[in-house]
Chain A
């Protein structure tokens, strides 16, 4: 405090009315340092400010010191708002002093006002400014004073509504208008900005003569020598045009708007980029322009009176050439910002005048050839607005260019083009077809955009009933021609065409009787993809009901109707979906049998995709079924692959090894499906067993000379089947062949032919057998410790689902490159029921390697007891084949030494 006091000392002496006393710069800067330092005490601040204020009148002879003192005060005002009022009231008397003093006071006032919150700023100004003062300052010969008072006024006018006024609206406008004639361009610009601000703030409250008067001044200034004055003037012309367009003033509005429009058009050829941008922005604001003038802005040539009878000749002579070709110049501009702005305003006017729209579409379409992406997007946006307003009249010549956009490099452009297509009205069937084809090309090139493309196709079909019906009939013919197994509709193009065909019947219930029934049933398996694309438009349940209703698939409505799950898909709905998927899977069998390996694979892949999409919304119970199907489809994929190999065996080199690998995979996949689910129906169990018989048949035919072991195994499976239900043709045939001791290989094809895929429809109420593993206190960052060579313990949390007490479960632990270690899990140690068993136990891992760190893969496996032949796998491990029940977990170990 003492130090502060000593600093304040020279200032307080200023109270001494010694006229010779002068502030020196040192004391001023000390005062400044005190005021700006946040830790200065309030008292010191007050006394510093007071002494500064007291010294002000004495400083009036020294303008430099005074302005410095004022700027120190102005700087401190924002930090200490409580002082603002006292500073303001003491500088009030100085405002009419010398030129330099007044300008310093004004700039101090401005900085105080701008630093205040909300209304305080302008109320401070209201307290010291009045009309006479403002007028006398505004007419000062000194630039600095004029510029500062103008800036103060611009500041105030922005807060005009919320503060007391020290000027009437009229005086304010007059002062601004006067400044528009100032010789300093900066002041002219600020004055125009002030007027714009005034017009925007007072928008509805002003009389129409104010914008008219502003307009007159602004038009006088659009030819100004300074670029930024022209920018501001053009902006104001646009604003006035906008306001006058909205106001009712009894004047010939169209004539007035035409004049304003042509005036702005004349700025479209300005040499300054900023002016041109502003000009096109302003053009977009002027509404109610006559067609003749608008048309003129699209033509560089002066249009004659033949154009619509009433021509622009009526306008004053000078303004006629101004509008000529303004938009042409805009969209040809060198700078993309100008082109963009021109494009936007072109779009605005095109929406309002049909005649103009017809002409401007040529240019907007030509802009699709522009090298700047943002211009293309802006043009698309304008086209979209025109389409939405129904004033887009597409001609054939445009379509080539437009459809090219669907395969554009930029995804935004593609998206924009599709958005327009959703609303577009196409004049001809050929154009419709080529549009659909381009969308399909889009889909093939960018499959990730499927949802958007499907939605566009759907909208397209909906908007063109006749055309889509035509396409539907063609498609139905095509489907009829192709054989049952040839499921080309797995192709994206087929799916896309189907979407077009079902669109119009679906949305309006029209065309339903005309649309071939077969299309609806073909659309059912695509339900997931279609409903994803139509999210928000149609409920998935509705969609399915609709498709089923109109397809030739038999179903009971009560299967679906009773409860429509609000979230996700209801169980019943899921069941019906699954029913259709299982039917489709059945179809896939016919492909495999028909040796259409590639088609079958494609088809199965698309089935998988469907399943993935559906399972996103599915309930827990449904997921089990879907999981079963995805496993089942994997098996089918493998069978299809093996089948292909067998077929090609005669023609190309035959790799027994690759067959074995595939067969091994198939075998393990079948094991997995058998031991991952419980609660089979008889039919399903039979089917799975038959599949495993099929695997044996494959193995059999590969081995050529079957071992007795194989035969025994086959026979035991057949007897097992016999025990469950009566034998199918397939099993009977195998039995017969074995009994006759004839080669299975020779009859592989005939065997396959009799194999039937049934039973899948009964996949219901299955429960998954699965296990969850959790390793306690271990992750890759904090590994468990071990002493190399000694056993290490792993604490595990194990949860088992749907295991029976007869199941034999093992914990499988393996270190890369070593033999695995199995630990038997005694189910009696687990707590809980058959549905969920839980247990936490410390499992030892014996063979820790002699290295610094290692990781173990841990998972729970189940022994496949019904695999009838015994294989000695491990000395201390399972005697039968195993299949995994849990996800593999990694357990990290690091040696005690390395810690």
Chain B
């Protein structure tokens, strides 16, 4: 027996996560994401590799990021998948916002052809079955799935799937260290055949978060104290709230009166969802919720487009992250030329975005297109705030779960190779990192139920030998019968043989020495 894994996306790259695993004859699709770096057919996983979209038993989405859910409406509405779709409650609540936001940007701003319509999204989301953390779902007679808390973003989950004796876990994106608003990933000890884990930071080991927080606060405070403006391009959900809690607390403590703005729309709506989904946040938020909702920020004011060029310092959270377009790009164009201003880029940026260019060296000018050129004189602070676990976290999880096989996805090829090396040498677990559209066969061990005779069991409990418990028996496997373990006497009885004792005597010659 084996688990067959078809990597449709996020193989040796970050983007369009999509893995189809065949376990015990059942096909499960984990995540159905899109690649943000492309706008042609490469943006979606190559669904044509599936013989039929309807031989898939179920689709499970780990969290609402577009690289994990972006292709779902396309798969259900265009490719015609009809089966069940599972995601957690927060993901179901937030995913339509993300999808529609992205569709609008694609169609309205970039003037590209849409892959799916608004109606498609609504129709697709109507099919979704929400699940809760640690809730076990019996998808059909054989297939069982369960979600575990993954940290990362609100509602992110790791998905455990089991068919018969074959067990696997798909982590999606996860975080092993808690942050200011989300807890750390939490999982039981499961004896897994296969673990598919993300490996965004396959080789990075991060320092204590306290240090990162201190540096970030210092950079922002110095900038606003000198009258500069701070732009923090983030995705609406997750980092924005994390950093905002941090800044709001700091503002309170240091008595700072500089306004903090959230670019309107999605983020304000997102904050509302955070307030509602308190149960999915960290222990600290849950504790303090009884007194005050920590997402009711004290120093945050709504922002209007006309405020971009107002004098005076401010901090602005603008979407989308990575400065890949939209409002954050608009603000970047205005603020980048002043050396008083600061651009704080939290987390990972996909190659090809402006965020990536800023992070990989300090460019003095950026050519947006052939007509637009931006002078970059502002300071750039790179934050290592990231909702992804670092290599230590991956190793810790792999060690804790001790699966028989590991497949790495959602990472960069050379780093994945290094991590594979470590997992194999340090933990002695077989590990692979297939490229997109490759299939990996993972052998699983088959366990067989055998029955034991009463005499054998009695022998087991009475025969004591020091600290070890040794029981001797004979395994009988007959065709058409269940395997059975019996004691020696019983066996002799069954086959009608008598016991013969052969004894040997040996002599040792004194001359042998």
Binding site for B on A (CB under 8 A): 139-141, 177-178, 181, 225, 269-271, 300-301, 321, 324-325, 328-329, 331-336, 362-363, 366-367, 369, 371-372, 404
Contacts and interface: CB of A to CB of B under 8 A. Distances in A.
A5 B277 CA distance: 68
Contacts of B49: none
Interface stretch (B35-43, B309-317, B342-350, B458-466): B458-466
Given A328-B208, A332-B177, A363-B208, A300 B392 contact: yes
Contacts of B497: none
A324 B392 contact: yes
Interface of B: 176-178, 180, 183-184, 186-189, 205-211, 213-214, 249, 253, 282-284, 288, 390, 392, 395-396, 400, 426, 457-458, 461-462, 464, 467
Given A329-B177, A332-B178, A334-B178, A178 B284 contact: no
Contacts of B207: 300, 328
A367 B462 contact: no
Contacts of A363: 208, 210
A271 B213 CA distance: 25
A225 to B, nearest CB: 5
B225 to A, nearest CB: 14
Given A141-B461, A321-B426, A371-B249, A366 B210 contact: yes
B213 A369 contact: yes
Nearest to B182: A334
A225 B189 contact: yes
Query: Chain A interface secondary structure, helix, strand, loop or mixed?
Result: loop
A480 to B, nearest CB: 36
22 contacts: A139-B462, A139-B464, A140-B461, A141-B458, A181-B467, A225-B189, A269-B396, A269-B400, A270-B400, A271-B187, A271-B188, A271-B189, A301-B205, A329-B177, A331-B210, A332-B178, A334-B184, A334-B282, A334-B283, A371-B180, A371-B288, A404-B253
B210 A178 contact: no
Contacts of A181: 467
Contacts of A362: 211
B467 A178 contact: yes
B284 A332 contact: no
Interface-centre pick from B178, B184, B187 (highest chain A CB count, 10 A): B184
Nearest to B217: A369
Contacts of A334: 178, 183-184, 282-284
Contacts of A331: 208, 210
Given A301-B205, A331-B208, A371-B249, 13 more contacts: A139-B461, A139-B462, A141-B457, A225-B189, A269-B400, A271-B187, A300-B392, A325-B392, A336-B283, A367-B210, A371-B180, A372-B284, A404-B253
Contact of B284 (A300, A321, A324, A371): A371
Interface-centre pick from B210, B284, B390, B464 (highest chain A CB count, 10 A): B210
A428 to B, nearest CB: 21
Contact of A271 (B186, B395, B426): B186
B279 to A, nearest CB: 14
B169 to A, nearest CB: 13
A269 B185 CA distance: 11
A369 B395 CA distance: 29
A333 B211 contact: no
A349 to B, nearest CB: 17
Nearest to B151: A334
Contacts of B187: 271
A808 to B, nearest CB: 63
A225 B188 CA distance: 9
A321 B393 CA distance: 12
Contacts of B390: 300
A123 to B, nearest CB: 30
B395 A141 contact: no
Contacts of A300: 205-207, 390, 392
Contacts of B400: 269-271
Nearest to A139: B464
Contacts of B214: 366, 369
A395 to B, nearest CB: 14
A33 B461 CA distance: 41
Contact of A332 (B208, B249, B462): B208
Contacts of B392: 300, 324-325
Contacts of B208: 328, 331-332, 363, 366
Closest 6 CB pairs of A and B: A141-B461, A366-B210, A334-B178, A269-B396, A334-B183, A300-B205
A139 B466 CA distance: 11
A269 B186 CA distance: 11
Nearest to A270: B400
Contacts of B213: 369
B384 to A, nearest CB: 13
A524 B189 CA distance: 71
Contacts of A333: 178, 184
Nearest to A135: B464
Contact of A335 (B253, B283, B395, B426): B283
Contacts of A336: 283-284
A284 B188 CA distance: 27
Nearest to A230: B189
Nearest to B288: A371
A800 B83 CA distance: 102
Contacts of A270: 400
Nearest to B190: A225
Contacts of A141: 457-458, 461-462
A362 B207 CA distance: 12
B453 to A, nearest CB: 15
Nearest to B189: A225
Contacts of A269: 176, 396, 400
Nearest to B180: A371
A139 B469 CA distance: 11
A225 B401 CA distance: 11
A889 B355 CA distance: 81
A336 B208 CA distance: 16
Nearest to A224: B189
A177 B189 CA distance: 25
Contacts of B284: 334, 336, 371-372
A653 B317 CA distance: 55
Contacts of B188: 271
A271 B457 CA distance: 36
Contacts of B184: 333-334
Interface-centre pick from A141, A225, A324, A371 (highest chain B CB count, 10 A): A371
Nearest to A407: B253
